[in-house]
Amino acid sequence: MLKIGCCGFPIGREEYFKYFSIVEIQKTFYQIPQEKIAIKWRKEAPLDFEFSLKAYQLITHPASSPTYKKLKIKIKNEKNYGFFRPTDEVYMAWEETKKIAQILKAKIILFQSPASFKPEKENVDNLKKFFKKIKCKDHIFVWEPRGQWNKSLIKNLCDELDLVHCVDPFKDSPVYGKIRYFRLHGVKGYNYRYSDEELKYLKKIIEPKINTYIMFNNVYSFEDALRFKDLF
């Protein structure tokens, strides 16, 4: 199975549903939407349409992250947020993320850790505690580490915690996972349009026996995803 889509809706939802069978919801990272909004999204979408979503930044990113500027709530005890810390605040953020995932019937939940989340003992321990506590059969947890993480460590953690290693296939190769979940951020940054040759290369590296998700996360995500889809 191959699914192609975009990170966020680059065009109106009704029009998007005509072309793709999956979208990765980004709004859940910046601020958890109201339940009625998620219910509306699910009702608008075709029955076989798939949602994946990006986990709330309160789980993965510290309060010093510039992404918190988009947060609509006031937080206290800033040191209790982000980096998968074993705090009530982080686990509450997970419960909010999970609730939206259940409404959307989203099986895949992406956890993107920032480059400042380094492979230090405290961070690794917190990562283990977090995923062991929230472990469930209803979801596939995808982890996109940023920064300098040793591939051997990533593989061991993904194996132990049943995580899927997410990468940009133009920058790295996944080391573990029962599925492939690729996020394409642009070879030279967000404002990037993929060439025909690059899209053909992307097609070539897809493993035919593994369920694969190709999610475009660049300015030209809609156009590039359509062009890539046309190759099939």
Which residues in the chain land under pLDDT 50?
Answer: none
Helix (H, G, I), strand (E, B) or coil at 176: coil
CB burial of residue 188 (10 Å; 0-12, 13-18, 19+): exposed
DSSP state of 69: G
pLDDT recorded at residue 197: 98
Q: Which of 145, 158, 220, 207 is nearest to 180 (CA)?
A: 207
| Percentage above 90 pLDDT, the chain | 96
Number of folded domains that form the chain: 1
Q: Are strands 108-113 and 50-54 parallel, antiparallel or unpaired?
A: parallel
Torsions phi, psi for 197 (to 5 deg): -65, -40
* Residue 133: per-residue pLDDT: 96
The CA radius of gyration of the chain, in Å to the nearest whole number, is: 17
pTM of full prediction above 0.85: yes
Provide the token pair at 49.
Answer: 């349409």
pLDDT for res 19:
98
CATH value at residue 157: 3.20.20.410
**Which pairs with CB-CB distance under 8 Å and at least 24 residues apart come from 225-228?**
225/4, 225/5, 225/6, 225/19, 225/20, 226/19, 227/194, 227/196, 227/199, 228/4, 228/194, 228/199, 228/202, 228/203
Q: What is the pLDDT of residue 129?
A: 98
| Strands of 163-165's sheet in order across | 163-165, 140-145, 108-113, 50-54, 22-25, 2-7, 212-216, 180-184
Write out the residue range of the structural domain in which residue 110 sits: 2-230
Q: What is the pLDDT of residue 44?
A: 97
Q: Give the pLDDT confidence score for residue 180 in this predicted structure.
A: 98
Beta bridge mates, 141:
109, 163
Q: Would you state the pLDDT for residue 196?
A: 97
